[in-house]
Amino acid sequence: MLRIVSLIPSATEIVHRLGLTDALVGRSHECDYPPQVKDLPVCTEPKFNPEGTSQEIHDRVTDLLQSALSVYRVKTEVLEQLQPTHILTQAQCEVCAVSLADVEQAAGTLMSSQPQIISLQPNQLSELWTDLDRVAAAFGISAAGLTASLQQRIDRCTEKTRSLTEKERPTIACIEWIEPLMAAGNWIPELVELAGGRSLFGTVGHHSPWLQWHDLIQANPEAIVIMPCGFDLERTKQEAKILQQHPDWAGLRAVKNDRVYITDGNQYFNRPGPRLVDSLEILAEILHPDRFNFGYLEQGWQPFR
């Protein structure tokens, strides 16, 4: 009998989309989709206060990483009670979720079970398909139907953006952290290209890079999309006001042309799971409203003024 513990939100969503939601017995403190998983026992917790401004959170995490290997704790006592057959975790980002090493150490202390650990490390879109196949294979099922349906949605977008000229593809700065500034990397530049834009910062398959204000000013993007890691739409709206205080903000082309947008990065862009396809559709809506209307406005994104 499957007893799955997922310690990362994207993996929880993968399990759900594979039709195995009922097999989930535990989750991370950040897993919140689908909504019914919120009732599951929580198996992780942060070692820092996640509230406050982006600068305050950055400072706490930086200080913690100087004295510890991880910024999260695995609740081994909860795992012991749950007796999982499988634990899903990640090795992609040390500040996004518990580390693989922490999970392996915690699993090694379990006396009542010897769970199989499945570690995900997607850095670009193609690796999401690989992860879907790996997770499905571990549970003895196929992900072919899921991957095919997701690819069909991608294809519907690219059919409309493929014919765009270079001039019709706006230059985009995707902001993954506000203070200090960080551009979005990994799969985000790829999604921007598929949605009919030109990503100015970040490299496909590489971690998100820190961004200096003078680089943003010099690039002067045609559009700015703000997607802070872990922030919902309302929190992003409040936090993004910090950007408006910078003396050069009002002079940016995207600001002058009213092409700055906030998104729910927590639910969409920051999670390398099936809803990366939703993220693509959101970007397509933002960049080319004359071609796309998927209905994400006010739910997944808003203009920022």
pLDDT per residue as tens digits for the range 148-187: 999 999 999 999 999 999 999 999 999 999 999 999 999 9
Instruction: Clarify whether residues 105 and 177 are in a common domain.
Output: no
Task: For residue 222, give the CATH number of its domain.
Answer: 3.40.50.1980
Contact 180, 58 (CB under 8 A): yes
Domain end, chosen from 59, 94, 121, is at 121
Tens of pLDDT, residues 197-251: 999 999 998 989 999 999 999 999 999 999 999 899 999 999 999 999 999 999 9
Residue 158 in any domain: the answer is no
The b-or-e profile of 96-130 (16+ CB within 10 A means b, else e) is bbbbbebbeebbeebeebebebbbbebbbbebbee
Tens of pLDDT, residues 46-92: 776 667 788 877 666 666 556 555 677 889 899 989 999 999 988 75
Q: pTM of the prediction?
A: 0.91
Q: Per the structure block, which two tokens stand in for 139? A: 């549970």
Residue 34 in any domain: the answer is yes
Domain end, chosen from 121, 150, 180, is at 121
Instruction: Clarify whether residues 204 and 99 are in a common domain.
Output: no
Contact 269, 227 (CB under 8 A): yes
- Structural domain tally of the chain? 2
Instruction: Clarify whether residues 210 and 117 are in a common domain.
Output: no
With 80 as the cut, is the pLDDT of residue 124 above it? yes
Structural domain that includes position 30: 4-121
Give the per-residue pLDDT at 207.
87
Instruction: Clarify whether residues 173 and 225 are in a common domain.
Output: yes
Contact 205, 125 (CB under 8 A): no
Domain end, chosen from 88, 121, 154, is at 121
Residue 92 in any domain: the answer is yes
31-59 average pLDDT score: 84
Q: How many residues does the chain have?
A: 305
114 pLDDT band, cuts 50/70/90, is confident
